[in-house]
Amino acid sequence: MALLVAIPAARAAADPLAPTGRWHAYARGEAATPPMGWNSWNAFGSGIDEEKLLASAQVIRATGLQAKGYRYIDLDDGWWLKRRQPDGQIVIRAANFPSAAMPDGSTSFRPLTDRLHGMGFKAGIYSDIGRNSCAELYSTDGLNQPEGSLAEREVGLYGHVDQDIALYFADWGFDLIKVDACGIRGLTPDSAWVKSGKFRAIAPLVDSDSLGRTNISAVRELYAEVGRALEKHNPDGDFVFSLCLWGAADVRAWAKDLGNMSRTSDDIAPTWGRMLHSFDSAVRRPLYAHPGSWNDPDMLYVGAGDFDADHLVAAKSHFALWAMLNAPLIIGFDMRKAPQPLLDVFGNAAIIALDQDPAGNQAVLAFDSDDLQILVKTLASGDKAVAIFNRTAAPLDARLTAEQLKLRPDADVALTDLWSGRRLTFRGEQPFHLGPRETLIFTASGSRRLADGVYLSEQPGSVNPAVDGIVVPQAEPLVYRPIFWAGTHGTGEHPRYGGWGGAQADQTPYGQTIAVGGQRFDTGIGILANSRLEVRNAGYDRFSALVGVDDSARDRSQPVTFLVYGDGKLLAKSRPVRFGDAPVRLAADVRSAKLIELVARTPKSRRFPDPVAWGEAALRR
């Protein structure tokens, strides 16, 4: 008898769609707003040393950028000498970091972090989830790479997580760690690296070209272990966990559950195409970013190449777009060389304020095309920010409509240009002319279309797709594909980042207009069936939505039941609805609920579940 009772209870606990009453996106660490600062890599690569790092820190302080929020000074790859044997203690390349040399012959970054802390900064360090770092594997000149025996050159975290995190945080006093993943990519037994005896083979492995050949759950567990060590060795919670898995291993779906910021793409470069690639890798993921867990489209390249002082239009676009994405604003420039116009880009307080807005709502695409995009972000004040982005090298005309802002077309909309401060007012729609690669960026206020509440798609920072319904991760085809590391060798650049079919604000999971039974919705949450959304309720009384199976569904075999929970208790439930049925109105009194959960369930699971719609999903007073 006891056994018969125990089985259903165990099953219920394992049901990922069962309500939990709890918000699961990562909220530990120090990233209530996106981290801001400076990192050595884009400016110096492995040629970093203490003098260069401190010089940039000093400029950031002296120019007032620190006071505007640039707080983290991060050391990237190139700092280590070896892993001492047999105790495994990491040794710093003291020739480049003189303050690290201790009288007893050991090395410590404590003097450097003390110095940075004394200047009012936080300090960041770099490691790898495998045994070897990216520059160890890919550096062409070998500059400043770890030295010694095979074991001494194994400077990454693998097998040393607790030891290294204790050293970096408890002993050395760092506040942030960026954890790369080259050490678990490509080191197969038959690779040239392993066959030559240069590095050891390792598993699990990431195959950046193939989700099917990547052990996603094992990779995730390696990163989760680092997160647990960070929490253990930072009892005050003063840490930032920065994942650098470049969009591989489906990380765009799961990093929000275990770290503070996570790279959504391969490395940015100072070219327009690589910036587009980074931007696209994050722009369709607003529901996967929240206070405490941000999409990271990579560090800023403002100052170099296509974004240098001779290309200020492009530099300003890059900066404005990162702010709209709530991206970490990490400068990657040798600040000793920054001319005033570049300092003015980094220092635009109004644009920084968008990035750092406490509501943490990543911008949502209000208009999407390959040429021009309009991004809208809802601020904590209830006002909007809007960016109109010309992706092309030719001038373009655009019209911004009040509807795109979810503001009433029959009332005034007031815009403030965040570069010039110029104000203008319009009703209905406003024409703009954009130069090549130009981004116009404004704050906007008017009469909200939903006067007594908020559409869920206006507050993605408070909506977590805890279970997004994806059974088989697929690569997203909408990310711009520039030429990458291999140049034009091989067969070209193919879609590589999992996440296609993920939950979307104001779109279906596959980027179409939400529609149910022929009725189209310009607002709502699009998600796959067999999903569970967590929604934070900031004091609203009522939840309502028009739900159904999306018209883009292809499987169509399963009826879908929609359920609304408040703090774990069932509040409302639809009848089972089928493809083609008209939308069903679902409403619930959520007055006493802090956490609302929205579940869409089918009787049988499918490998490729149908898209469903929470049309016009809203919280109202």
**Residues in touch with ligand GLA (CB under 6 A):** 41, 76-77, 133-135, 180, 244, 246, 267
Residue with tokens 């309009």: 374
Question: Measured from the CB atom, is 329 or 388 closer to ligand GLA?
Answer: 329
Retrieve residue 71's tokens: 């707080």
| Nearer CB in complex with ligand GLA: 246/272 | 246
Nearer to ligand GLA, 140 or 196 (CB): 140
Our CB check for ligand GLA shows the closer of 181 and 418 to be 181
Contact 175, 240 (CB under 8 A): yes
Name the token pair of 557.
Answer: 């075999």
For ligand GLA, the closer CB: 50 or 76: 76
- Helix 312-324 with 272-283: angle, nearest 10 deg: 10
Is 270 or 611 the residue whose CB approaches ligand GLA more closely? 270
Two tokens, residue 82: 């070896």
Q: How far is the CB of 157 from ligand GLA (least distance, A)?
A: 14
Closer residue to ligand GLA, CB minimum distance, 223 or 565 = 223
Query: In whole angstroms, how close is the CB of 584 to ligand GLA at the nearest point?
Result: 46
CA 310/CA 301 separation, integer angstroms: 14
Exposure string (b/e) for 252-290, b if CB count within 10 Å is 16 or more? Answer: bbbbbbbbbbbbbbbbbbbbbebbbbbbbbbbbbbbbbb
283: left (phi over 0), alpha (psi -120 to 50) or beta: alpha
Specify the residue, 41 or 579, whose C-beta has the smaller distance to ligand GLA.
41
The rounded distance, in Å, linking the Cα atoms of 287 and 361 is: 9
40 vs 552, beta carbon nearer ligand GLA: 40
49 C-beta neighbours (distance < 10 Å), count: 18
* Residue placing its CB nearer to ligand GLA in the complex, 180 or 551: 180
Q: What is the C-alpha separation between 329 and 74, in angstroms, rounded?
A: 12
**Considering the complex, what minimum distance in angstroms separates the CB of residue 221 from ligand GLA?**
21
3-state secondary structure 259-318: CCEEECCCCCCCCHHHHHHHHHHHHCCHHHCECCEEEECCCCCCCCHHHCCCCHHHHHHH
Nearer to ligand GLA, 109 or 442 (CB): 109
| 196 touches 221 (CB < 8 A) | no
> Is the CB of residue 164 less than 8 Å from the CB of residue 174?
no
Output the smallest distance, CB 283 to ligand GLA, in A. Answer: 19
Report the nearest approach of ligand GLA to the CB of residue 23 (Å): 30
The least CB distance from residue 362 to ligand GLA, in Å, is 21
Helix, strand, coil percentages in the chain from 3-state DSSP, rounded to 5: 25, 25, 50
The Cα 116–Cα 54 span in angstroms is: 8
- Run of H or E including 437: none
Smallest separation, CB 13 to ligand GLA (Å):
38
The least CB distance from residue 208 to ligand GLA, in Å, is: 11
CB of 235 to ligand GLA, least distance (A): 28
Cα end-to-end span (Å), the chain: 49
Structure tokens at 439: 């981004």
Q: How far is the CB of 263 from ligand GLA (least distance, A)?
A: 6
Minimum distance from residue 180 beta carbon to ligand GLA (Å): 5
Non-local CB neighbours of 278 within 8 Å, separated by 6+ positions: 264, 265, 268, 297, 298
- Neighbour-count burial of 410, counting CB atoms closer than 10 A to its CB (0-12 exposed, 13-18 middle, 19+ buried): exposed
Shortest distance, CB of residue 353 to ligand GLA, whole angstroms?
26
Residue with Cβ nearer ligand GLA (244 or 251): 244
Q: Which residue is nearest to ligand GLA (CB)?
A: 134
3-class secondary structure, 418: coil
Based on CB atoms, which residue is closest to ligand GLA, 180 or 550? 180
What lies within 8 Å, CB to CB, of 5 at 6+ separation is none
Q: Closest approach of Cβ 298 to ligand GLA, in Å?
A: 7
